[in-house]
Amino acid sequence: MTASVESPPPLHAAAGGRQSDLRSALLTMLIAKVLTLGVGAIGYQILTDTLLPTPRAWLAIWNLWDAPHYLDLARYGYEATGERANWLVFYPLFPWLTRLVGLPLGDYLIGAFIVSTVASFVAATLLYRLVRLDHDAEVANRAIWFFAIFPTAYILHIGYTESLFIALVLGCFLAARHDRWALAGVLGALACLTRVNGLLLVPALAIEPALHLWRARRFDPRWLWLATIPLGFVGYLILNYRVTGDPFAFLTITRERWYKSFAPPWVGIVALFEGLVWRPPFEIWTVIWQQALFIAIGAVGAVAAWRWLRPSYAVWVGLNLLLFTSTSFILSAPRYSLILFPLPILFALLARRPTWQTALTAWSLILLATLALLFLMQVGMAY
């Protein structure tokens, strides 16, 4: 029997199909954004028995936990004394962009939401294009779906750094995959100005040229652009020095004000489960088991990424997991897991089977609704 071979579609047709799929992915993100913010606000009004009188009030209820600190930084800048001196631990790119957008509008809250909104759409676009390098449009669209409904995806839509950071990370990986190493270096440096996790881009992306060098035995000097990524962190150290006179002042503040310090992962994990004997039942479920669940998901994801995705993706998951568990006090593992972009790709691959599609979708949506409402009700460490 002779197998029939179909001719590939014309380039313009393929491009048209991909643009149509990309529009579908962006529409998925838009719908998720509207429903998350809208349903969250409705749930908040029901649970608190209050009415939100204006559209801005529907956004202002999300200005909780770390979000007001970013607005303070956008409004006042970094300070060396007083309560706002403790905000030095927050990296500057997000508040700088919030100021850039919010100052002309006269509203830093709206500025923060605009920055997060634009960044979330950029992230969806880049994730789709990154997945399409290895998989078909169906897998790429499902990856966007699971990214949009990830249990802590509400963080993408509010005044937090996650949407900006993941957009920069995805852009960095996509640039590296296209051998645009200068662009990867610049985006990586900007990621380091957004979150300390940006430093992990260096070892993760270094896997790509290392494997190429192993196979081809040929060095490409463009790979040296990876050395520019830590310059973003150097910029943050300079900021520390200019504000306080100490480039490492953030370490002292983190330890003394936020009660966190570096420790082997098992120290924080053991301390987490020690809470089983003294925390009330509500916190056992919202604090201990939520943290443990997402740590486990990250660990399984790192192994699965090594098996079914690219080694650089596995290194990204594994190193981030190591970073947010290497502390004496593990906090916000569900939120930090949001930046592990290989997870929605793995979910998309699993969801080729309808049973997995249903199970993962139900799990994600239920937890998304639950964690978003817990966030709005200011239940500590639930997210």
For position 196, what pLDDT does the model report? Answer: 96
Q: In the chain, what percentage of residues exceed pLDDT 70?
A: 94
Confidence of residue 258 (pLDDT cuts 50, 70, 90): confident
> For the residues 289-294, what does the mean pLDDT come to?
94
CA atoms within a 13 Å half-sphere pointing along the CA-CB vector of 58: 14
| Three-class secondary structure of residue 327 per DSSP | strand
Residues 114, 97: Cα–Cα separation, whole Å: 10
Give the C-alpha separation, 175 to 190, whole Å: 14
Say what the pLDDT of residue 163 is. Answer: 98
Could you tell me the residue ranges of all domains in the chain? 20-376
SS3 state of residue 151: coil
Query: Rounded to whole angstroms, how far apart are CA atoms 291 and 333?
Result: 5
* Least confident range of 267-281, 298-312, 368-382: 368-382
Q: What is the pLDDT of residue 69?
A: 97
pLDDT at 1: 36
What pTM was estimated for this model as a whole?
0.93
pLDDT digits (tens, 9 = 90+) for 316-330: 999 999 999 999 888
Largest CA distance in the chain: 80
In angstroms, how far is CA 104 from the centroid of its own chain?
27
Query: Would you say residue 379 has pLDDT above 90?
Result: no
In angstroms, the CA 354 to CA 261 distance is 44
**Of 72-76, 177-181, 326-330, 349-353, minimum mean pLDDT range:** 326-330
In DSSP terms, 262 is beta-bridged to 327
Q: Is the pLDDT of residue 336 over 80?
A: yes
Is pLDDT of 20 > 80? Answer: no
Q: How confident is the model at residue 6 (pLDDT cuts 50, 70, 90)?
A: very low
Mean pLDDT of the chain: 92
Evaluate whether 268 touches 328 at the Cβ level (below 8 Å).
Answer: yes
